[in-house]
Structure 1
Amino acid sequence: MRLSDFDFNLPEALIAQRPVYPRAAARLLQVRGDGSRVDRTFADLAACLCDGDLLVFNNSQVFASRLIGQRERDGQRFGGRIEVTLVAETDEPALWVCYARPGKKLEPGDGLYFSDRLSTVVEAKDGADIKLRFDAQGADLLETIDALGHMPLPPYIRRAKGGENSDREDYRTFCGRKKGSLAAPTASLHFDEETLESLRAARALEVAEVRLDVGLGTFAPIRSDDISDHQMHHESCALDADNAALIASARAEGRRVVAVGTTVLRALESLRGQAGAMSTDIFLKPGDDFHVVDALITNFHLPQSTLFMLVCAFSGTEAMKAAYDHAIAAEYRFFSYGDGCLLERPTG
C-alpha cells in the first residue's frame, strides 16, 4: 500500500484551534458496520451504544512537557531563551531525550536553568536532539515539570509563545490518573463525569481503564512511500488484572468492547486484552486483524497519518474515505480539539 492511498484534501479552516463547550456539544459522526452514517452530537452518544457495552478509557494524563530555560555554565546564566520539549525517557533515571530550539550552541556539559526548582545538564547532543539529565526523577520530576512547563500542543494548534493558560485544562482528560503522556489521548476530551454517569444510566454501561503513555511520535509523519516500511515509535502500555477481568467478562458475554481513542485500541490489541505491561510499536493498517475491540470512538485524523490508516484498518478503507469526505463537506472540526466519530467493525 502506498502513502498516497491515504491522502485527502483538508481545508485548513476545519482544523480546530479550541474545543467546544460543553464537551457534549461536539459533533459525532456514527459510521455503522454496514457503512451507513448518522450525524449526531456527543450528547446523542447513548443512541450509538448498546446495553452492557464496556467503554475503555486511557488513564494516562498528559503533562506540561515543554520548558523554557536558559544556558548555565559555572553558575552563570547567559544567552537567550531555549525551548526544550521532552521526547522520551531513557532507561536511566532522570535522563530524557529532548528537542531543543535553538539548540545549535548547546554543548555536552552545559547546564540548562528552568527555575530554582529545576535544572539539568546536557549529557549528549545530536543536532537538535539532546539528552538531558535532570536533578530529580520519577513522579517528583514529572510534577515539577508539569508545574513549570507549557502544554505540548500539536503543531497544528497555533498559539503565541508561552501558549494559553486555558490549554492546561482544555488539553487534559477527566480520566487521567497518572502523568506520563506527551500528548493527550484526545478522544477522552469529549467526556466528563456527568456525561459518563448519564451514559451509565441510559445503557447500563461498564467502564474499564488501560494505560498507554502517548509519545510525540504520534505526530511523526510517514516518510516512506511504501507504508510497510514505516517503523512505529515505542510507547509503554499496561492493563491491570481487574480491568482485564472486565474485558474478559464482556467478551465472554457477547458484550461490545468500545475503545475510547486509538491509544486504547492500540494498547488492548497489543496486550490482546490480557493483564500485563509492555512497550508497543504496533502499526495497525488495512489487512490487519482485531482481536479485542468491537467499536472505536475517535477524533478525525490527519491525511497520510498512521491514525488514519488505523481507522481504515478498523472500519474499511473505502468506508472511511467516504466518511471523511462527508465530514469535510459537512464541515466537521478535525484533529485534537475537533469533533469525533464512532466507528463499528464492518458487518459485510
Structure 2
Amino acid sequence: MTAESEIKAAPDTAASLPIALDAVGGDHGAVPNVEGAVMAAKAGVRVTLVGDQVKLHAELSKHSGISALPLTVVDAPDVIGMDEHASDVRGRKEASINVAAHLVKAGQAAALVSMGHSGATMAASLLILGRLPGIDRPAILTYIPARTGPVALLDAGANADVKASYLAQWAQLASLYLRVIEERENPTVGLLSIGEEAHKGSALTLEAHALLRQQAGINFYGNIEGSDIFKGTTDIVLTDGFTGNIVLKLAEGEARVLLGWVKDALTSSPRAKLGGLLVRDGLRAISERMNPSTYGASILLGVRGLSYIGHGSADAVAVKNALLRASRAHQSRFIERLSEGLAGSNSAQP
C-alpha cells in the first residue's frame, strides 16, 4: 500500500480492537469527526468516539443507519482547545485526548487518532503510552507529494530543537515503517541540507551525516536539497521539527496557490473554459494527490502505541482516511514488528 493509493479497511476488522478517536478535537469540533467516523465504520472499521457524550450522540443522530455500524461512545467531558497549552494534559484527566490515550494504554483501543491540539496529542502519547526502548524523542512522519510518489518527511513538527542522535533514530524508525506499512524493502534515506556535499550544512547536519553513514540497517543516500524532496530523490527525508514543519506548510500553501492559478487561467475566457473541460479529470486527479485529506493524519513514531495527529482544519474525508490508516497499521502489527526491528537493529550495533 502507498500513501497516495486509496486507503481501504484492513481485512477481518470485525474481530479487531476499535480505533479511539478524539471526536471533539480540532477547529470544527464534533461535526467532521463524527461524519468521518461514520464513513470509516461503513468501510468496516470499528471506532470509539471519545468526547462529550451528549454532543456526540446528538451529532450521531443526524446520520441514518448508525445503529448497525461498529460505533461506540466513551464520555470525556473536557477538551483541550486549540489555543490552550499542551502541558494542560498533565492536570486534565477527563480531557478527550487523555481518555483516548488511556484506552490504547489499557488495550481497549488499537490506536489513537486526533485532529485536535497536536502538542497535546504528542504530550498525552508520551506521558501515557511512553517511548519505545532506545528512542529519545518521537517524531511526526508525514507525506509530501513528489514526482515519483509520496515522500516520507520527519520530523514534521514534534521537536524544534534536536540532536544528531535523534535523526539517526528517526532514520531507523522511518525505514522500518516504510518496510512494514508500505512494503518498501530498502527505502532510501536523505538528510536535508543546503548542499549535496557531505561537508556542507549546519553543525547538526554535519554530525548527523557522520552518524548516518555509520548506521547499520538503513540505506543512507546522503545529503539532499529542498528541491530533491519534490523530485522524490529519496523515500525518506530527515530534518528537525522546526524545518520540517516549515517545509510541510510551504508545500501545502504552494499547492493551493498553484491550483488557484490554474483555476484562474482556465476560467479567464470562453476558450480557456473549453480547454478546462478537456483537462478536468486530469486536474481533479492532481488535486486529489495534493490534498492533505488524502493522507488523513501523520503517525507519531517512537511511542509505545499507534498515535496519529491530523490537521486542526481536517474535514470528514481526512478523519475517515486517518481511521482507515490506523486500522491497517494495527492489522499489520506495526508496533510489535517495529519493536522487534528496533531490538534486532540495536543488538547488531557494534
Q: Same fold (TM over 0.5)?
A: no
Higher relative strand content: 1
More helix by share: 2
TM-score normalised according to structure 2 size: 0.30
